[in-house]
Structure 1
Amino acid sequence: MPNPFSRFLVLLILLCSCMTLSHATDVSELPITLQALLERSGRDNLIDLVQQGTANQSLLFQSGSDNAAYVTQVGIDNHALVTQIGSNNEVQLLQVGTQNTASITQIGNDNLVQLNQLGSGNFSIEQIADGAAITITQY
């Protein structure tokens, strides 16, 4: 489980993401377009993150061993929060479109989540078990 400092860091990053930068000579605003916070502890954990578009955000936390998170976000203002605690857990998350939100928590061992959101959707999955599997596609 992330320590209190990590949670503070996440909140700080999210707060900073709402701010924009501006130049003294140019009054136009430059938004932060893509953000990711990756935190891993343990052995042989894998994070494969691909983000394309504008204002996509990903927060991924792994603790344990042999966990894998494959996250792809294409579009505008998509948000992903993945937490894996245990061993040999896998998340395959694909979000394509606008304002998709996914929150996935895996606590245990040998769990699998396959979530595809194509359009604009919200989903939250909590796997607190061993050997659980779920596949969801929503349009």
Structure 2
Amino acid sequence: MSVFKTLGIITALVLYSVGSFAAESEFESNELPITLQTLLESSGRSNVINLVQAGVLNQATLSQMGEGNITELLQIGSNNQAEIIQLGQDNEVELLQSGANNQAFITQIGDDNLVQINQLGSASFSIEQIADGAAMTITQY
């Protein structure tokens, strides 16, 4: 079961950042602080990105090309980094990073692939899933 379904967060796109902010007057209402660098790219139809970041210095780079791809990313803590690339159809990534200095690099090329990763503490993981119908679940403490 998805971390987001567990938390009751089911939306097409969520961008939420919480962290150590300077005085409110230093930021415009729609501007994120420089410490939370997020690049989102999506090309295709029915692609979904759910991204929640709580903490400081968390980074996410997400790219989707194809149709029906889903990325659910939750980063809690500090200095966590995620790079996710999905090329194909109906691929899914569920990534939870909790703690500090976690790194995850995930590439999915093909159709109907699933990657579920929980990094709880300080861990690194990299995978290139080049197949159709492949599934992988990893938990690191």
Gapped runs of 5+ residues in structure 1? 1-30
Structure 2 counterpart of 1:49, one-letter code: L
CA–CA distance in structure 2, aligned partners of residues 116 and 34 of structure 1: 21
Helix, strand or coil: the match of 1:130?
Answer: coil
What's the counterpart of residue 63 of structure 1? 65
CA–CA distance in structure 2, aligned partners of residues 126 and 46 of structure 1: 20
What's the counterpart of residue 38 of structure 1? 40
Query: What does the per-residue CA deviation read over 1:76-130, in whole Å, with 9 as the maximum and x for residues that have no partner?
Result: 0000000000000000000000000000000000000000000000000110000
Helix, strand or coil: the match of 1:70?
Answer: strand
Gapped runs of 5+ residues in structure 2? 1-32
CA–CA distance in structure 1, aligned partners of residues 131 and 60 of structure 2: 24
Amino-acid identity (%): 63
User: By how many angstroms is 1:33 displaced?
Assistant: 2.4
Query: What does the per-residue CA deviation read over 1:63-86, in whole Å, with 9 as the maximum and x for residues that have no partner?
Result: 000000000000000000000000
Divergent runs of 4+, >3 A: none
1:118 corresponds to which of 114, 117, 120: 120
Structure 2 counterpart of 1:119, one-letter code: G
User: By how many angstroms is 1:34 displaced?
Assistant: 1.2
1:130 corresponds to which of 129, 132, 137: 132
Structure 2 counterpart of 1:105, one-letter code: T
Which structure has more helix as a fraction of its residues?
A: 1
Greater C-alpha Rg: 1
- RMSD between superposed Cα atoms in Å: 0.8
2:82 corresponds to which of 80, 97, 103: 80
Q: Does the Cα contact within 8 Å between 1:33 and 1:53 map onto a contact in 2?
A: no
What's the counterpart of residue 104 of structure 1? 106
Query: What does the per-residue CA deviation read over 1:11-64, in whole Å, with 9 as the maximum and x for residues that have no partner?
Result: xxxxxxxxxxxxxxxxxxxx7221210000010000000001000000000000
What's the counterpart of residue 5 of structure 1? none
Structure 1 counterpart of 2:60, one-letter code: S
